[in-house]
Amino acid sequence: MTARTHDDETAANPRAAWMGTLAKARPAELEDRWARLCSDLTEIPDWQRLRGPETGMVMVRGRAGGDGSPFNLGEMTVTRCTVRLKDGAVGHAYVAGRDGRHAELAAAVDALMQNRQRAEAAMTAVVRPLAEAQATRRDLAARQANATKVEFFTLVRGED
């Protein structure tokens, strides 16, 4: 099994990658990054809510071993939001949990990323730092888990 790295995903579908980063960000971090972005931009982005934020359930499906037949793993709570900026750019967000503000901000950043002029600012001020923070946390958790790894081995019995 070859694990797809974060960089692979970013290259294959950049929008999915930044939507994922925004959805997985901690709400306080996103709020903080958003405030910094607003201070960088000449005008504070204003948007219209097209749908939501609204909370519902989605069925999460899994595949045994990653390639078996699909089964329903369980339902999870998801909050989604769709916003449209004044210039017509539309952003979507689907966020785990019930935090409507998180979903709305994530949708607003996704909408900003649709506009080439603003995308670079949004990428630098919001998406990239969030992705780096997540990578750091993931790495730390992986190393902590790795430190407790137990190597199992089988003793060969004498009769063979």
Partner 1 sequence: MTTAGIDFRDLAPGFADPVLESQRSFRLVLQAMAEPGRRVPLAPDLDPPAPLLPTTAAVALALVDYDTPVWLGGAAHGVADWLRFHTGCPVVDDPGHAAFAIALGDWPALDALAAGTDAYPDRSATLIAQVETLSASGLHLTGPGIDGARDFGVAPMPDDFLAAWKANTKLFPRGVDLILCDGNQVAALPRTCTVGQAE
For residues 158 and 153, give the distance between their C-alpha atoms in angstroms, rounded to a whole number.
Answer: 16
Contact between 119 and partner 1 per CB under 8 A: no
Contact between 54 and partner 1 per CB under 8 A: yes
For residues 18 and 90, give the distance between their C-alpha atoms in angstroms, rounded to a whole number.
Answer: 15
Q: Residue 6 or 84: which CB sits closer to partner 1? A: 84
**How is residue 55 annotated by DSSP?**
E
Give Cα separations from 105 to 27, 82, 87, 134, 144 (angstroms). 9, 10, 17, 18, 32
- Least separation in angstroms between residue 89's CB and partner 1 is 9
Give the residue among 94, 74, 70 at the shortest CA–CA distance from 16: 94
Which residues partner with 80 through β-bridges?
54, 94
Contact between 100 and partner 1 per CB under 8 A: no
Contact between 51 and partner 1 per CB under 8 A: yes
- Residue of 20, 27, 29, 84 that binds partner 1 (CB under 8 A): 84
- Residue of 90, 119, 121, 133 that binds partner 1 (CB under 8 A): 90
Contact between 86 and partner 1 per CB under 8 A: no
Contact between 13 and partner 1 per CB under 8 A: no
**In this chain, which stretch among 7-15, 49-57, 60-68, 125-133 interacts with partner 1, using CB under 8 A?**
49-57
